[in-house]
Amino acid sequence: MPGRIVRALTPVVIGIVVPLLFMVTLNPGPLPGDVALTRSLQGVSFGWVVAGADALIWPLGVALVVGALLLRRWTEAAFLFVAGVTSVVLGDGILKPLVARPRPTPQLVQVYEKADGFGFPSTTALFAVVLLGMLVYLASRSLGAAPSPRSTLLVRVMLGAVMLLVLAVSLSRVYMGVHWASDVIGSWLIGAAWLVALIHGQEWWRRRRSVNG
């Protein structure tokens, strides 16, 4: 079931990501609505609640890989590690220099956290989407063809928690004035596309191992 869903979503995700990359490359400044969205979020009195959410995702990534290793889930640990590392390489090493989009400036919005380098995409949001998306996929994959109602419920609860965490991490990057909202939304889409590619790779690896094994 997870594999069929991924294959069905692949053309949709790619069809959105490619035009988005062209858009932000041709127009490196804030897109319509970016400044207003940032100012609105920074003007919310409880915005500080999400301000530190981005700091949680990096140690969480390490904890997930270490936890899988301690449980001797070697395959899961390997794919979580690959998901995390490749998402950082994709964001910081490839897309940011390629797009070269400036970050928000104090002249337009409040900048509570100074960050170096370019702004698109948000590697933190990209990392969260890919890593946590892989976690949910691996959890759903482990249920097998006939999961129990309790197991299905647990995966759905995990999916809901993951979506909330990704949202909190993403909002924190905008609230701190490190990224525009379009940086974050682009990271969601690119992260989804990369997650789809990684899942395709894992499905291929599983099929090849079953044939050879």
The enclosing domain of 100 has a CATH number of 1.20.144
**110 within domain boundaries:** yes
Domain ranges, residue 179: 2-200
Q: What is the dihedral of CA 34, 37, 41, 42, to 10 degrees?
A: 50
Please list the pLDDT of the chain residue by residue as tens digits (213 residues).
455 555 555 666 666 666 666 666 666 778 888 999 999 988 887 666 676 778 889 999 999 999 999 999 988 999 999 999 999 999 999 999 988 889 999 999 999 888 888 999 999 999 999 999 999 998 888 776 567 788 788 888 988 999 999 999 999 999 999 999 989 988 998 898 899 889 888 887 777 777 765
pLDDT score for 1: 46
Is 211 a domain residue? no
Whether residue 121 is preceded by a cis peptide bond, meaning omega within 30 degrees of 0, is: yes
Residue 213 lies in a domain: no
CA-to-CA distance for 198 and 204, rounded, in angstroms?
10
The model's pTM: 0.85
* Rounded Cα gap, residues 95 and 111, in angstroms: 23
pLDDT for 19 equals 67
Domain assignment of residue 205, yes or no? no
Rounded to an integer, what distance in angstroms lies between the CA atom of residue 103 and that of residue 100?
9
Q: How many residues does the chain have?
A: 213
Beta strands in 15-111 (DSSP E): none
> Is the peptide bond prior to 28 cis by the omega test (within 30 degrees of 0)?
no
What is the count of structural domains for the chain? Answer: 1
pLDDT at res. 105? 92
